[in-house]
């Protein structure tokens, strides 16, 4: 055997060992990769979301003051803008004056009612006395003690007293009816006053929660606004989540309450801890405007993605921003 042949023979086992080792390393790496993806499903098809509130006025008018700027952070209860309140204050004063007048009128009617009740009692007492006298004189006339004219005079007085009692009773009922109508009017006026005060309060808009003001900010001092007109948007800073769109082959191990790790493209090297809230009952395509119809001859199977919602907590050092892209990983080994 030549020296060259011996050298080649010595190299072949080494080459085979290196190749075998490389195959083993690649196989082990692939095994670890697929095992990790099986127990820790991840996706980069994920986006940050938050609740938003479109701010629009309740009443129409001219903007008096604007207390915020685009992209500013506002606290719950902070004044954001004010509409000129003068017309609404005048409306409150007008309705209040009408209410005060109606209450005063009701008081006058109640005083008249008291007088009418006293008058009715007086008339009833007078009728009772006249009835007694009429009965006495009627008896005396039968005994021919008094003249017929005198008995007839007391009979007429009895009829007159009866008419006066009836008139006083009708007056009492009329006054009571007016008071009932006035009470209904007062209730209506109180509602009008309350509505006017509500509209006055609506001239000042306060932040309903801790939030960020959006960039699409279209409100200026002196601008005329109407109810329902969108002026800007508030992004709620208390509720943040990521909608991670997992392939249908990845969600079989994911359950509500499982811990998750989320990283954002805007913060390299920073991880956010979260927890799975829920898994959508339908794919993104299923809820689209034109859902796919697969009852055709040219059907092609396309794996669907299902949104998995992961709750996140706001971070003061690395604030979350709605719409930013994310990479989500769920730990399916941990118990919910």
Domain of residue 183, CATH code: 1.10.287
CA distances from 126 to 26, 155, 172 (A): 122, 14, 17
Residue 327 φ then ψ, to 5°: -125, 120
75 pLDDT above the threshold of 70: yes
Cβ proximity of 326 and 244 under 8 Å? yes
Residue 282 φ then ψ, to 5°: -140, 155
Of 87, 78, 33, nearest to 203 (Cα)? 87
Residue 21 inside a domain? The answer is no
Rounded distance between C-alpha atoms, residue 251 and residue 300, angstroms: 22
254 pLDDT above the threshold of 70: yes
17 pLDDT above the threshold of 80: no
Residue 259 φ then ψ, to 5°: -70, 155
**Which range marks the domain in which residue 136 is found?**
86-201
Of the CA atoms within 13 Å of residue 279, those in its CB half-sphere come to 15
pLDDT on residue 2: 47
For residue 57, the SS3 value is coil
Residue 49 inside a domain? The answer is no
Residue 127 inside a domain? The answer is yes
Domain count, the chain: 1
Cβ proximity of 85 and 199 under 8 Å? no
Of 129-138, 178-187, 257-266, 289-298, where does mean pLDDT reach its minimum? 129-138
Residue 268 inside a domain? The answer is no
CA distances from 100 to 110, 150, 184, 187 (A): 15, 55, 14, 12
For residue 298, the SS3 value is coil
DSSP symbol at 253? G
DSSP symbol at 59? S
Q: Torsion over CA of 209, 210, 215 and 220, rounded to 10 degrees?
A: 60
Q: How confident is the model at residue 244 (pLDDT cuts 50, 70, 90)?
A: very high
pLDDT on residue 6: 47
Q: How confident is the model at residue 155 (pLDDT cuts 50, 70, 90)?
A: low
Residue 73 inside a domain? The answer is no
Residue 320 inside a domain? The answer is no
Residue 266 inside a domain? The answer is no
For range 186-192, the mean pLDDT: 93
Residue 186 inside a domain? The answer is yes
pTM of the model: 0.70
For range 254-280, the mean pLDDT: 93
Rounded distance between C-alpha atoms, residue 303 and residue 332, angstroms: 21
Rounded distance between C-alpha atoms, residue 306 and residue 249, angstroms: 10
For range 170-199, the mean pLDDT: 88
Residue 331 φ then ψ, to 5°: -90, 100
DSSP symbol at 252? G
Residue 147 φ then ψ, to 5°: -75, 160
pLDDT single digits (tens) 322-335 = 999 999 999 998 87
Tell me the two tokens of residue 131.
Answer: 């009835």
DSSP H helices in the chain: 3-39, 86-142, 148-201
Cβ proximity of 203 and 61 under 8 Å? yes
């Amino acid at each position: 055997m030549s020296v060259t042949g011996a050298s080649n023979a010595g190299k072949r086992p080494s080459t085979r060992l290196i190749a075998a080792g490389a195959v083993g390393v690649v196989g082990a790496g692939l095994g670890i990769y697929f095992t990790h993806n099986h127990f820790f499903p991840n996706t980069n098809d994920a986006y940050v979301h938050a609740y938003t509130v479109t701010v629009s006025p309740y009443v129409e008018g001219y903007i008096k003051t604007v207390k915020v700027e685009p992209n500013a952070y506002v606290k719950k209860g902070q004044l954001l803008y004010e509409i000129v309140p003068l017309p609404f204050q005048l409306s409150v004063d007008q309705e209040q004056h009408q209410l005060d007048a109606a209450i005063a009128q009701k008081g006058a009617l109640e005083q008249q009612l008291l007088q009418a009740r006293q008058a009715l009692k007086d008339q009833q007492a007078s009728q009772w006395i006249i009835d007694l006298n009429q009965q006495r004189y009627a008896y005396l006339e039968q005994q021919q003690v008094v003249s017929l004219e005198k008995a007839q005079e007391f009979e007429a007085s009895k009829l007159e007293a009866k008419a006066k009692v009836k008139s006083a009773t009708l007056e009492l009922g009329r006054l009571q009816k007016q008071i009932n109508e006035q009470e209904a009017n007062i209730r209506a006026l109180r509602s009008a006053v309350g509505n006017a005060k509500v509209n006055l309060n609506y001239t000042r808009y306060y932040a309903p929660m801790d939030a960020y003001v959006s960039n699409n900010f279209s409100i200026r001092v002196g601008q005329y606004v109407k109810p329902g007109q969108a002026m800007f948007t508030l992004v709620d800073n208390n509720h943040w989540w990521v909608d991670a769109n997992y392939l249908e082959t990845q969600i079989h191990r994911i359950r509500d309450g499982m811990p998750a790790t989320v990283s954002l493209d805007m913060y390299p090297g920073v991880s956010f801890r979260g927890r799975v809230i829920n898994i959508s009952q339908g794919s993104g395509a299923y809820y689209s405007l034109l859902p796919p119809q697969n009852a055709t001859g040219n059907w092609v199977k396309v794996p669907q993605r299902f949104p998995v919602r992961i709750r996140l907590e706001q971070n003061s050092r690395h604030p979350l921003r709605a719409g930013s892209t994310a990479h989500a990983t769920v730990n399916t080994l941990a118990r919910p």
